Amino acid sequence: MKTANHSNRGMGLENDINLTNSYYLEKDIAVIYKKPTPIKVTKVSYDCIGNKRVKDAFYEKPSTTDYNGLYKGKYIDFEAKEIKNSNIFPIINIHKHQIEHLSRINKHGGIAFIIVRFCNNNTTYLLEINKLISFIDNNKRKSIPIEYFEDCGYIIKESYIPRLNYIKIIDNIISKENLWKNLKGNSKSL
C-alpha cells in the first residue's frame, strides 16, 4: 500500500486536494469541488452528429479562487499554490482580486484560506486569510518566508487516505470561532 503512496508523490498539490475532496464526498464528510478553469470561447464548430466542439478560446483571469464548498454548514473557500524550489512564498502568486474575494468570504461568515506546499521541504500549510492580510499590511516584503507559515499557519499532514486531511484544521478553526462567540456572549451577559 505504501508503494502506491510514494509512487504518486510527484503528482502535485492539486491532485492531492482533488483526491481528498473525492474522499470527503464519498464518505459524506464535506462537499468541496474545484471550480472549472474559466475559458472564453470565441469559435465553435459542430461535428457530423451535431456535437458542439470548441475551436478557438483563451484562458480568462479567474475572478475568484480554485476551490469552494460546504462543511458542517460552513462555507469553505480557498486557493492552493505550490512552491517548487524555494522557502519563500511570493505574494504575487495570489492575485489581488483573489485576496479581496477571500477577505469578503471571511467577512460574510465563511472560512477562507490558502493552502501552500513548499516542495523543497515537502510540507503543506493552511494559512487563514486574516493571517495573510496581516502579513501584507505589516510588512514591506513582497514574499512570505516559510517561518511565517510555521508560526501563524497550520501544517496539513500527508497520509495515504485521505491524502491531505485539511478538514481536521477546519475543525480547529470552527472550534476557535465557537470559543470566541461564547466568550463574547459571556462578556455581554456580565
Contacts of 122 (CB under 8 A, 6+ apart): 158
Side chain identity, residue 43: K
Distances (CA, A) of 49 to 34, 42, 44, 96: 31, 21, 14, 44
By CB under 8 A, residue 185 contacts its own copies? no
Least distance from C-beta 101 to its own copies, angstroms? Answer: 7
By CB under 8 A, residue 61 contacts its own copies? no
Alpha helices in the chain (DSSP H): 2-7, 12-26, 96-107, 129-138, 146-152, 167-189
Interface region with its own copies, contact rule CB under 8 A, candidates 9-17, 64-72, 118-126, 133-141: 64-72
Least distance from C-beta 93 to its own copies, angstroms? Answer: 18
By CB under 8 A, residue 10 contacts its own copies? no
Interface region with its own copies, contact rule CB under 8 A, candidates 67-75, 137-145, 153-161, 178-186: 67-75
Least distance from C-beta 29 to its own copies, angstroms? Answer: 9
Report whether 56 contacts 43 (CB < 8 A): yes
The residue among 69 and 162 lying less far from its own copies, judged by its C-beta, is 69
The grid cell for 61 is: 483571469
Positions 97 through 126 that interact with its own copies (CB under 8 A): 101, 104-105, 107-110
Comparing C-alpha atoms, which of 173, 156, 174 is closest to residue 165?
156
By CB under 8 A, residue 39 contacts its own copies? yes
By CB under 8 A, residue 23 contacts its own copies? no
By CB under 8 A, residue 27 contacts its own copies? no
Please name every residue paired with 146 in a beta bridge, in sequence order, or none if there are none.
none
- What pairing do the DSSP bridges indicate for beta strands 31-34 and 67-71? antiparallel
**Phi first, then psi: what are they for 127, rounded to 5°?**
-125, 120
The residue among 57 and 161 lying less far from its own copies, judged by its C-beta, is 57
Q: Which of 1, 7, 26, 28 binds its own copies (CB under 8 A)?
A: 28
Q: Please tell me the distance from the alpha carbon of residue 132 to that of residue 144, in angstroms, as a whole number.
A: 9
Please name every residue paired with 6 in a beta bridge, in sequence order, or none if there are none.
none
List residues binding its own copies (CB under 8 A): 25, 28, 30-31, 33, 35-39, 41, 51-60, 63-64, 68-75, 77, 101, 104-105, 107-110
